Structure 1
Amino acid sequence: MVGSLSFAYPYFLLVLAIVPVIGFLRKRRTQHPFLLPFVYEWVGKGSKGITERVSLFFIYIAFLFFVIALARPQEEKGKVPLRKEGYDIILVLDISGSMLAEDYEIDQKRVSRLDIVLEVVKTFLDKRTNDRIGLVAFAGRAYTVCPLTFDHNWLKRKIDQLQAGTIEDGTAIGDALGLALSRLEGKKESGERKKIGSFLILLTDGANNCGNLTPIEAARLAAHAAVPVFTIGAGINGEVTMPVMDEERRKIGSQTVVSEVDEGLLRNIAQLTGGEYFRATDSNAIVSAFQAIDARKKIPFEPVVVTKKEELFSFFLALGLVFWLLAFIFSKRI
């Protein structure tokens, strides 16, 4: 940066290094170097004198301004603080094999629980531009798919990569909640170890059957941190249709299994943490959970300071064209 002037693509300025080379080669040649289209005809073969030197000078100046324009010069106009408000939300998503149960319908076509959940979540992301959202997935163990981020397009790409049954099967709800809590980066209130505007949204279709941390222990940790947990029980109870997959995860048939959501556990988690429980026999219940979050207080994030800049490349481009034209005019006077 020179003063208040900076360049978006400063590496283009390296092109100026060829100017001395051109000058050196020109002195060693009996003919004029090819600086511009038809420049040899402009200055005339063997032509000498002040007019030629002025024309070539203007060509060099035009070249200089063209290179500066390529480097995209910008003038700093000051700094503007941008304040974002929103929630810190971690989605805790069950991707165990049971989420492949086909007990939902879209346009009279049976689809899996996971398909419905993923589509609703992606629609939700499109409407929550000011929220930092992360994702923890779990089955027999839990892992972080995406930390808290404002880049929801990147998060949606990570969601598209999720598949049920890709990790050891099981339902480790407690471990998943514990991991999600560790990923939150909320604000502290009055010096206490509490987070403001932070939420967990747990989507599962089963009962906890593995893991090191029990769901109630995780719920107590969330309650201590003042992090509400909204729980959503996906799917219907009773007999459901499950696809049968081959080794390459292609559907080769179906079978009937019994499904049961531990509604009592999910209600207890929500009650202990100050959240709400939703029974998601259809996609509307998932939408209702996110609408309940809208009623919560928003929090201010640290202001993001953005430097306001004015683009100057058109000014230097215009100067280059002016000197190019002057070079042409002077060459015609020879």
Structure 2
Amino acid sequence: MIDRITADRPQPDGTLLGPGDDAAVVAAPDGRVVATVDTLVQGVHFRLDWSGPEQVGRKAVAANLADVAAMGAIPTALLLSLACPASTSTEVVDGLAAGIWDAASEAGVGVVGGDTVSADQIVVSITALGDLEGRAPVRRSGAKVGDVVAVRGVLGWSAAGMEVLRRGFRSPVAMVAAHRTPRPPFTEGPVAARAGATAMVDTSDGLLADLGHIAAASRVRIDVRSELVPVADKLRDVASALGKDALAWALTGGEDHALVACFREEDAVPDGWTVCADVRLGTGVSVDADRWGGAGDPGWRHWR
């Protein structure tokens, strides 16, 4: 299986030693390495009757690249741990591998190693490494009172796509695709860092939930202005058709992996980012200065 996954796959120059030994060797020109890991479990994060194996592979890479980007870093390498039943078809393995390698190649990184084990269900776990290019990491704890908060990427699309699939539909295609293979704007993480971002996070659990992480770490309150939250017309159309609240999806839907960052002033916000909140004295996250009271819980939590 390892040979099948790795054979004839190209590696970038930063991979000094790729698959085949007990461990890989990756260049670290900055002298520091950003490291993160994310796990996708069949039945929890994906269903093969909703998504093809290649889409699952792409989704696994996207989640990790978004975390690297949220630190203000560029990705340098991926490690893959794949668990699956012995009955798993080679077509599923090939599809997962193709999706992972294609997404990695688009980001300019290689899959430098990993592990394969047997399990009762498919589990895809990816570790991503990143390079800060000499900059300080953009942490969750750096937001200051008076900062503005801006977002880059779509909000609520993955939640809308999941609701569409739950109801047995396969369109609108854009929403379903956003759930199957999110496209985080990971190249914008370093852009925000260069622009002086004081704190940053990706919306893996939902805008309110992930802003809550910044608020808690920075000991501030973040007040979201609902009229500024980017809610696409397509999202409103789907919500209307399904009897749902588009704003609630944008505020609480996870797995879009949009980037949300704090900046000292609005003039510092990079092009393409949308200001949607302010950092104030206090604690927690509010919407229009009030506690969120809309439909749905503010973000995903395992074991809840």
Bin the TM-score by the shorter chain: under 0.3
Compare relative contact order (CA 8 Å, sep 6+) and give the higher one, 1 or 2.
1
- Structure 2-normalised TM-score? 0.23
Structure having the higher Rg: 1
Q: Which has the higher helix share?
A: 1
